[in-house]
Structure 1
């Protein structure tokens, strides 16, 4: 059911945002992201992590709008298209994480991306 999938998807996005905050703060968790080349992220990747957090907020809003759990955006067709694009984005994440040189990223982030893509697909086809 869409109303269950949207909050689950948003919860995962919140955890990803928290993880990105930990990376920005300098914790040595870089093996799980950005190809795993840096344990502690350099400045340019920390900026990328900050942008990711902003994107997660937009993604969550779109998903909640599509599930009709919020009503900030009035264009249903806009939201419908965007959630399909978001589904494609998460699917691309599955592929990119799956081919990462980092074993940690492949083992942890690929399944997370797969769940996001699957839940987003359910929300999109409602």
Structure 2
């Protein structure tokens, strides 16, 4: 399980860098938020910043659940990882039905991998 937690954390870190680039105005909008904007408008840039915070919380929960850090009580990391798993499972069809072909082809498999890794971590 530590390997799954580390892999999950690395992938979330890469996504955080991507979301930061979007928040700073990088023209990568076709890969996120429905792909309707080349450069995200202000409200979606805020959404990207919120996503970074969510990714950080999930990464910390995963590392805690795997026993690599001790930040929260065990029940919090157990429940938190199941919530993260559900969050990623919901993200699979949402990305799969995106109007953006780039988002469908790129983010659907990424979210599926996140779901699998979070399931492995949640199972402990």
* 1:79 alignment partner in structure 2: 77
* Aligned pair partner of 1:108 in 106, 109, 118: 106
Once the two structures are TM-superposed, the CA of residue 102 in structure 1 deviates from its matched residue by 0.7
- Cα distance in 2 for partners of 1:11, 1:30 equals 22
Structure 2 stretches lacking a partner, 5+ long: none
Structure 1 stretches lacking a partner, 5+ long: none
* 2:55 alignment partner in structure 1: 56
* 1:41 alignment partner in structure 2: 40
Once the two structures are TM-superposed, the CA of residue 26 in structure 1 deviates from its matched residue by 1.0
TM-score, normalised to structure 2, is 0.97
4+ residue runs of structure 1 moved beyond 3 angstroms? Answer: none
Find out whether 1:93 has 2:91 as its counterpart. Answer: yes
* Aligned pair partner of 2:117 in 112, 116, 119: 119
Deviations 1:94-125 (A, max 9, x none): 11101111110000000000000001001111
Q: Which stretch has the larger CA shift, 106-115 or 21-30?
A: 21-30
Deviations 1:62-99 (A, max 9, x none): 010110100011x2112111101110001111111011
Equivalent pairs, count: 124
Name the Cα RMSD after superposition: 0.7
